[in-house]
Amino acid sequence: MIGTAKSGHPGGSLSAVEIVVELFFDYMKIDPQNPKWKDRDRFILSKGHAAPVLYCAMAEAGYPDTPMDQLNTLRKLGSVYQGHPDVRFIHSLEASTGSLGGGVSLAIGMGLAARLNGSPSRTYVMLGDGESQEGQVWEGAMAAAFHKMDNIVAITDYNRIQLDGFVKDIMEVAPLADKWRAFGWHTLEIDGHDLVAIKKALEEAEATKGKPTAIVAHTIKGKGVSFMENNPKFHGTAPTPAEMVLALQELR
Amino acid sequence: MPAKTKFEIKLGAATREAFGRTLVELGRENKDIVVCDADLSKSTMTTYFAKEFPDRFVSVGIAEADMVGIGAGLAYAGKIPFVSSFSAFVMNKGFEQLRVSVAYPNLNVKVVGTHSGISIGEDGPSQMSVEEISLACSLPGFVVIAPADENSCKALIREATAHVGPVFVRTGRPKCPIVYGADQKFEIGKAIQVADGKDVTVIANGLLVAQALLAADTLDAEGISVRVIDMHTAKPLDRDAIRKAAAETGAIVVAEEHLVDGGLGVRVAQVVAETVPVPMEFVGIQNTYAESGQPEELLEKYGLVAVDVAAAVRKVVARKR
């Protein structure tokens, strides 16, 4: 779909596939046929540029406003599949995102509402490691721990690459897990491509009371496509038609 | 024609105080109201709400961006969040979040800025908000309100709550001259004519409404009949009231405690240009930051009192002839 759009962010979508799949097809309590069910779990894609992975998951899950047969209209005029998630076009999305750093604050608001409503709803927010350079992330991290938000989970897709290059060369965020721990979060580090590890981490988060959980998921940018893996070029560049053929062969 | 009753300055409560008291009433009536504050609740007066409804009060610390984002999250989940701080902080530090997390998905978040304008006084320019009407009006879908006094603030906070969608309300620190009785009705986007006149119209908001009424009395004695309109809603503007004022009085002065760049004046001028073009003058802060001082001294020094409104009226009336 990114190839057809001729622009987009393939690398950061591929690194997040297993996490999104585990959440949407196993762990989260959601009802795609009834997307606004009040006690549903919620997913916020704070790293909004990975919209394609979210769109694919939602289409596969069968939400009424994410048609599978229109995925290739990504980024085209009139498409519901906007460049970054937009609730005006897809009502089933939990939040409009795209400007980095905002998701943790949104999750706190949703978590507070669930608490006030006595709802078991849990909120999952996925961040990028580069995104963690944004100050608002840490304002939210401080507030979530202070308010003992044990119904929210922040998952970092730690793929080590951002637009301009390797995170360590642009603005190092390590030691990332130590930072979340220091802010008062129960913090886990896992292999973000291991479905069993992801599920175990989500279970541990749910069992943790009195504090929010941060899952630092170590991933590979462009995972599954040899020439995209760990290649900063594919943070924000679409594959050419030839590259697309190769990529799809490798992913099969 | 019977002699007009002269307007006299009688101080009522500050608009922030009216906001704080009304918020408590609203909290009793509506369990969905949640209030977020960034370590200024004793100044924004959300402290009254916090005392009565501690479970629905969210202390976010000194982190306005996070506060606006939390408000957005609450609104996504069906609550009616009020996020409040000094205007200078919630609007400037929270602007990105107001844009992407609130305005863009058109969420039902109520943003109340206090200590607006230069009438905050001694704290000085870092705390003075003189650009937020411009910023708030640049957000698609936002309703932007600047009440003139205690009673209008109470009523308009209620209107803002009943309205579904994002709203910014601008309130001030000092005690505020009373313009309205408690029974006056207010509607978002519907200006109120507080004095009638035929030669010129002064369109004002906030503290400048009372100053415009004072100026109107002075000018009346000089034989200039001044209509005064309280344009409490800067967005959406009451286009009809503006068009009528232009057509019937032939000259307009806009007066506000805000930079003239991008404020109410510019917005009114756009409607005048589109409807009935007439001469206009603008009373506001001119391309500068103010300084520390007492509110009354500052308003005088920076040209925001009745004599300044009167001078602008004389100027615009002269241009008319």
Cross-chain residue pair B96–A111, CB shorter than 8 Å: no
Note the pLDDT of residue B5. Answer: 79
Q: How far apart are the C-alpha atoms of A157 and A56, rounded to whole Å?
A: 18
What are the domain boundaries of chain A?
2-251
The DSSP string of B3-47 is: PPPPP---EE--HHHHHHHHHHHHHHH-TTEEEEESS-HHHHSTH
Mean pLDDT, to the nearest integer, of B104-108? 98
* B133 to chain A, closest Cα gap in Å: 23
H helical segments located in B222-305: 239-249, 264-274, 295-301
| Partners of residue B100 in chain A, C-beta under 8 Å | 96-99, 102
Residue B3 has pLDDT above 80, yes or no: no
Considering only the beta carbons, identify the residue of B56, B73, B79 that sits closest to A106.
Answer: B73
Mean pLDDT, to the nearest integer, of A99-126? 98
Cross-chain residue pair A112–B73, CB shorter than 8 Å: yes
Closest by CA to A129, choosing from A220, A43, A231, is A220
Q: pLDDT, tens digit, for every residue of A159-201? A: 999 999 999 999 999 999 999 999 999 999 999 999 999 999 9
Note the pLDDT of residue B1. Answer: 44
Contact criterion met (CB below 8 Å) for B110 and B169: yes
Instruction: Give the three-state DSSP class for B256.
Output: strand
* A58 to chain B, closest Cα gap in Å: 19
Q: Chain A contact for B9, CB < 8 A? A: no
Residue A249 neighbours by CB under 8 Å, 6+ apart: none
Q: How far apart are the C-alpha atoms of A75 and B249, rounded to whole Å?
A: 51
The crossing angle, in degrees rounded to 10, of helices B15-29 and B150-162 is: 40
Amino acid (1-letter code) at residue A37: W
Q: Chain B contact for A96, CB < 8 A? A: yes
Q: pLDDT, tens digit, for every residue of B249-292? A: 999 999 999 999 999 999 999 999 999 999 999 999 999 999 99
Residue B99 has pLDDT above 90, yes or no: yes
The fold of the A2-251 domain, in CATH, is Rossmann fold (3.40.50)
Q: What is the DSSP letter of B259?
A: E
Residues within 8 A of A (CB atoms), B 32-61 only: 34, 55-56, 58, 60-61
Burial of B76 (0-12, 13-18, 19+ CB in 10 A): buried
Distances B82 to A57, A235, B41, B143 between C-alpha atoms, Å: 34, 38, 12, 14
Residue A30 has pLDDT above 80, yes or no: yes
Q: Which of B36, B56, B66 to mutate to test the interface with A (most CBs of A within 10 A)?
A: B66
Distances A156 to A3, A104, B11, B189, B196 between C-alpha atoms, Å: 26, 11, 54, 45, 62
Q: Which of A46, A105, A124 to mutate to test the interface with B (most CBs of B within 10 A)?
A: A105
Considering only the beta carbons, identify the residue of A95, A96, A108 that sits closest to B70.
Answer: A108
Q: Chain A contact for B77, CB < 8 A? A: yes
Closest by CA to A61, choosing from A29, A15, A88, is A29
Q: How far apart are the C-alpha atoms of A175 and A168, rounded to whole Å?
A: 11
Residue of A nearest to B98 (CA): A102
- B243 is written with which tokens? 């068009």
Count H helices, E strands: chain B?
13, 14
More confident residue, B2 or B272: B272
Q: pLDDT, tens digit, for every residue of B62-93? A: 999 999 999 999 999 999 999 999 999 999 99
Buried b (16+ CB within 10 A) or exposed e, B46-55: bbbbbeebee
Considering only the beta carbons, identify the residue of B55, B60, B69 that sits closest to A106.
Answer: B69
Q: Chain B contact for A99, CB < 8 A? A: yes
Q: How far apart are the C-alpha atoms of A162 and A159, rounded to whole Å?
A: 8
Using a pLDDT cut of 90, give the percent of chain B over it.
Answer: 98
* A111 to chain B, closest Cα gap in Å: 8
Residue B2 has pLDDT above 60, yes or no: no
Residue of B nearest to A36 (CA): B77
| Partners of residue A135 in chain B, C-beta under 8 Å | 65
Q: What is the DSSP letter of B102?
A: I
Mean pLDDT, to the nearest integer, of A133-140? 98
Q: pLDDT, tens digit, for every residue of B156-175? A: 999 999 999 999 999 999 99
Note the pLDDT of residue A3. Answer: 86
Note the pLDDT of residue B4. Answer: 63
Give the number of other Cβ atoms within 10 Å of residue A62's Cβ.
11
Angle formed at CA A196 by CA A195 and CA A198, multiple of 5 degrees: 65
Q: pLDDT, tens digit, for every residue of A192-218? A: 999 999 999 999 999 999 999 999 999
Cross-chain residue pair A139–B63, CB shorter than 8 Å: yes
More confident residue, B223 or B5: B223
Helix (H) or strand (E) holding B230: strand B226-230
Q: What is the DSSP letter of A27?
A: I
* B271 to chain A, closest Cα gap in Å: 29
Closest by CA to B189, choosing from B151, B234, B152, is B234
Q: What is the ipTM of this complex?
A: 0.96
Q: Which domains does chain B have, with CATH numbers?
A: 13-177 (3.40.50.970), 192-320 (3.40.50.920)
Q: Chain A contact for B2, CB < 8 A? A: no
Instruction: Give the three-state DSSP class for B215.
Output: helix
Q: Which of A116, A127, A137, A183 to mutate to test the interface with B (most CBs of B within 10 A)?
A: A116
Catalytic residues of B: 64
Rg (CA), chain A: 17
Q: If you average pLDDT over every residue of chain B, what do you get?
A: 97
The DSSP string of A117-142 is: HT----EEEEEETGGGGSHHHHHHHH
